[in-house]
Structure 1
Amino acid sequence: MPYAARDLIDLDRHPIHQPGPVRDALVARVRADLDRDGCAVIKSFLTQAGIAALTEEADGVSDKGHRSFNRTNVYFTKDDPSLPEGHPKRRFFDRSNAFIPADNFAGDGPLRTIHDSAGFDDFIQDCLQEERFYRYADPLADVIVNMAEDGAGFPWHFDTNNFTVTLAIQNAEEGGAFEYAPRIRKGDENFDEVARVLDGTSDKVKVLTLEPGDLQIFRGRYSLHRVAPLKGPRRRYVAIFSYVEEPGMVGAPERTMQLYGRTLPIHHERAGRRADSYID
């Protein structure tokens, strides 16, 4: 059945579609949080019906998730023997996770109804204060669901895209906290601080527990982050909406294959098109 945005998003509490003092105050708070550490959370962004609809949709396509079990560094690159052994690019961690690619979510389903709702993109752009603001053009990754099960998690990494918007749908019984080191790569790679995070000696790491229905805006291109391992039989579902600074950007073929288990012709046609020179 078709969905209405108002049934899914708590627009009475969070009128992202309606200019006025309530929206202005919400944007101001989110901007302040983003200025402070590159991360902001809007609690109870979804209605209970919205949480239920997204959970049902994710359950229905959970078999389409690409599960991968491998070892990666924070940049998703290969080992570089020319660097010292303890360099962050040479430190690899077990990764066990699953992503449900974007092409599994119908245009009239609840996830894309939220993404396409009036004012959603404009609200995110206003919060980020970005003049250059585009939806990620990757047909496998513009809006996806991260699915994690017992024992899974996601080790320390940087995002390829500059702005990530996540929507918590369902938590596991235990674990799954979001840990991040705010903006440690803003300006340069900052390998020394990255190493301290990996060593567990950094004083910059923050821990955040998201509840179902919470909306998070995060500058993951610059902040090292991870999802702590989960415990229990219930899956953790988190929707991810991605935005970038340049039109037409898609994932690199190597990383796309790692995350989704397949590539499309567009990934090879646009390989190497980047908005910055950071290591992925």
Structure 2
Amino acid sequence: MTYAAEKLINLADYPIHIPGPARDAVLARVRGALAQDGCAVIKKFLTPAGIAALTAEADSVAEQGHRSFNRTNAYFTQDDPSLPQDDPRRQFYDRSNAFIPADNFVADAPLRSVYDFPGFDEFIRECLQEEAFYRYADPLADVIVNMAEEGNGFPWHFDTNNFTVTLAIQNAESGGAFEYAPGIREGDENFAEVARVLAGTSDRVKVLELEPGDLQLFRGRYSLHRVAPLRGARRRYVAIFSYVQEPGMVGAPERTMQLYGRTLPIHHQRAGQRNDAYID
């Protein structure tokens, strides 16, 4: 079955493929939000039919999700006993997650119909005002779904890449709020304020209750953020669209195995060819 992206994307409110005042207004609003605190949300980017189609697709491949469990700090680094016990680099939290790899989402099905819609990539690039902007070439990771179940969440962390582009598909019954401290380490690491966020005493934390169909653009390199733990039997689905600053990039074999439970020949063929810190 082929899906028409025009029925999945709310083009009436967001004519992302048509140059003109309406598109310019959306770009201006998103850029303003990103400049203010590194986070922009395009509410109801999907139509109700789009939400239903993407949810059904995620349900159909949910069992292909690769689950992982570990403990991590906000920086994804190892413990350093030379630091004080209360240093944020020594605060570790349980992390449980599952990713449904990209090769489970086939062409002409709902998720890739959105991703491949003419004008989508360019709209995202213009929102972010990035000059070097390419799709991630990794066949397991160019567009994936993060799947989280009761008790899962994502503890406080900084991203290694400059931005993320996510699309809320289905929420858990409760929990799962997106919490972030915008620009907390602009200019320096600001460990004292990071420690206050981790302790729950900072006044810089904002809370977003994203709804199915919302498109989020977020610059998480300098903003500490987390997804609060989920409650209830319903899974939370969030699509992640991956873009990078160099063409042809794929994940390192070790990181790919950790995230997706398997690798492909391309990961080994291109191992060691990367010179950046994006994605993994």
Both structures adopt the same fold (TM-score exceeding 0.5): yes
Alignment of 1:1-280 (within 5 A): 1-267=1-267, 269-271=270-272, 273-275=274-276
Report if the CA contact (8 A) 1:107-1:113 is conserved: yes
The letter of the residue matching 1:216 is Q
Shift of 1:109: 1.2
Shift of 1:81: 3.2
Shift of 1:23: 0.5
Distance 2:189 2:266 in 1: 28
Distance 1:250 1:33 in 2: 30
Cα–Cα, structure 1 residues 191 and 154, in superposed 2: closer, same or farther, change >3 Å?
same
The letter of the residue matching 1:237 is Y
RMSD: 2.1
Cα–Cα, structure 1 residues 88 and 245, in superposed 2: closer, same or farther, change >3 Å?
farther
Cα–Cα, structure 1 residues 223 and 114, in superposed 2: closer, same or farther, change >3 Å?
same
Distance 1:124 1:18 in 2: 14
Which segment drifts farther, 255-264 or 19-28?
255-264
Report if the CA contact (8 A) 2:96-2:154 is conserved: yes
> SS of the residue aligned with 2:192?
helix
Structure 1: 5+ residue stretches without partners: none
After superposition, give the CA deviation of every residue in 1:213-234 in whole Å (9 maximum; x if it has no partner): 1111111222221111111111
The letter of the residue matching 2:78 is K
Shift of 1:255: 3.8
TM-score normalised by the chain length of structure 2: 0.92
What is the total number of aligned residue pairs between the two structures?
279
Shift of 1:55: 0.4
Report if the CA contact (8 A) 2:16-2:123 is conserved: yes
Report if the CA contact (8 A) 1:183-1:223 is conserved: yes
Distance 1:84 1:100 in 2: 38
Report if the CA contact (8 A) 1:51-1:212 is conserved: yes
After superposition, give the CA deviation of every residue in 1:128-174 in whole Å (9 maximum; x if it has no partner): 11111122233222211111111111111222322211111111111
Report if the CA contact (8 A) 1:151-1:229 is conserved: yes
> SS of the residue aligned with 1:220?
coil
Shift of 1:180: 0.9
> SS of the residue aligned with 2:217?
strand
Distance 2:253 2:87 in 1: 25
Report if the CA contact (8 A) 1:76-1:255 is conserved: no
TM-score normalised by the chain length of structure 1: 0.92
Structure 2: 5+ residue stretches without partners: none
Shift of 1:10: 1.0
Cα–Cα, structure 1 residues 121 and 157, in superposed 2: closer, same or farther, change >3 Å?
same
Shift of 1:78: 2.5
> SS of the residue aligned with 1:165?
strand
The letter of the residue matching 2:72 is T
Shift of 1:79: 2.3
The letter of the residue matching 1:248 is G
Q: Percent identity?
A: 78
After superposition, give the CA deviation of every residue in 1:216-267 in whole Å (9 maximum; x if it has no partner): 1111222221111111111111111122223333344444333322344544
